[in-house]
Amino acid sequence: MRKTLAGLTVLVTTFCAPALAQDVKIGFVSTLSGPVAVVGNDMRDAFELALDHMDRKMAGRSVTMIYEDDALKPEQGKQKTDKLIQSDRVNFLTGYMMSHILLASLKSAVDSETFLISANAGPSQIAGELCSPWFFSASWQGDQVPQAVGEYMNQKGVKSAFLIAPNYAAGKDVIAGLKANYKGAIVGEEYTRWPDQLDFSAELSKARAAKPDAIFAFYPGGAGVQFMNQYVQAGLKQQIPLYTAFIVDSLSLPQLKDLAVGVPGAQHWVSDLPNAANKKFVADFKAKYKRLPSFYAAQAYDAANLIASAVDAVKGDTSKKDEMRAAMQKANFASVRGPFKYGNNHFPIQNFYLQEAVATGDGGYALKTIATALTAHQDRYHDKCPMK
């Protein structure tokens, strides 16, 4: 009997050990080429830093990263997602900078029961009726940042506004978010071609003619820099105040410089947040990459740590998907934004802060937290999500 039991022990060890010894495989889909590649690469750099902080292991298992470029094309993003699921057999998907690319890829993840952790895009559809137990956001829902800006515009007594944004899913969500909280009159609303339109002279001329109290604009990446330059060149900075979402950040500041000073925005994360995890993240990111991280980087860093919290909870046995989901729902890791919790739709309930660009005195520029705009804020689509 002892000999038989010993043999069974060897068999169990032989068949179970390889499953636990395999690497944790993570597929990262983002825009790594083209006009907004600076954002995707910032996200990738932050994810790599998070892995460095873990000694590139989760629950003792080595991590294999597979990076894929969606080239800002929904169909290519879906193809890359399908490849990661079907050929590479990843345990987790993450990245996903743009909403229309995430929306194109979501069904593949859900149908294959592969966890997808968005490190940026937060479309309203996934916060609502398309919510899924296989999806988590490490960022925000797309309306929330402009909702915070809208509240600030109310506080500043802005009675009328002209709105400008790109014509795609995130652009529409951002404008919807601003309208949800802003109480003044909308005297104009323009949606521009995305991503190829970089001349905004016609829209700025319409804004000037409408004579609003303020202009609100949303443009990520290089398009935001172009918009800001044209806004100033048109002489509007002295005439009509500008409020923004996702234009002024640590990636655009080195190009915008003085143009960004005094232009308010909002985010759930600013580099000067005083928690210990954030101080380490900012210092180590700056030391490794010789630049300050953006909020995109902060979200990707948190995405890596959210995934690690799930793998740690099951001691590396990634077949225990229900237990990993339960662990992620607790948001039990040291987030650079400070403590937060998840809503029923797996979007964070968190603070949003007003921020402004300031000159640092050494020839550089940084974003400074001005005030808390929204406290423990939950997105406005969660009640449309059937998950409880």
247-264 pLDDT, tens per residue? Answer: 999 999 999 999 999 899
Residue 21: its pLDDT value, please? 58
Query: For 307-319, what is each residue's pLDDT tens digit?
Result: 999 999 999 999 9
Query: For 154-190, what is each residue's pLDDT tens digit?
Result: 999 999 999 999 999 999 999 999 999 999 999 999 9
The pair of three-digit structure tokens given for residue 39, joined into one six-digit string: 């954002």
- b/e per residue 252-284 (b: at least 16 CB within 10 A): bbeebeebbeebbbbbbbbbebeeebbeebbeb
Residue 347 in any domain: the answer is no
- Both 220 and 115 in a single domain? no
Task: Check if the beta carbon of residue 120 is closer than 8 Å to that of residue 54.
Answer: no
Residue 345 in any domain: the answer is no
Residue 283 in any domain: the answer is yes
Stretch 137-156: mean pLDDT:
96
Asked whether residue 5 carries a pLDDT value surpassing 90, the answer given is: no
Note the pTM of the prediction, 2 decimals: 0.91
How far apart are the two ends of the chain, measured CA to CA in Å?
50
Cα–Cα distance measured from residue 182 to residue 373, given in angstroms and rounded to the nearest whole number: 13
Stretch 214-236: mean pLDDT:
95
Average pLDDT, the chain: 93
Asked whether residue 9 carries a pLDDT value surpassing 60, the answer given is: no
Residue 107 in any domain: the answer is yes
Q: Which domain holds residue 154?
A: 144-267+352-382
**Structural domain total, the chain:** 2
Asked whether residue 6 carries a pLDDT value surpassing 80, the answer given is: no
Q: Which of 288-297, 325-334, 355-364 is the least confident region?
A: 355-364
Cα–Cα distance measured from residue 379 to residue 338, given in angstroms and rounded to the nearest whole number: 18
Cα–Cα distance measured from residue 133 to residue 141, given in angstroms and rounded to the nearest whole number: 16
- Both 173 and 253 in a single domain? yes
- Both 251 and 150 in a single domain? yes
Query: For 50-72, what is each residue's pLDDT tens digit?
Result: 999 999 999 999 999 999 999 99
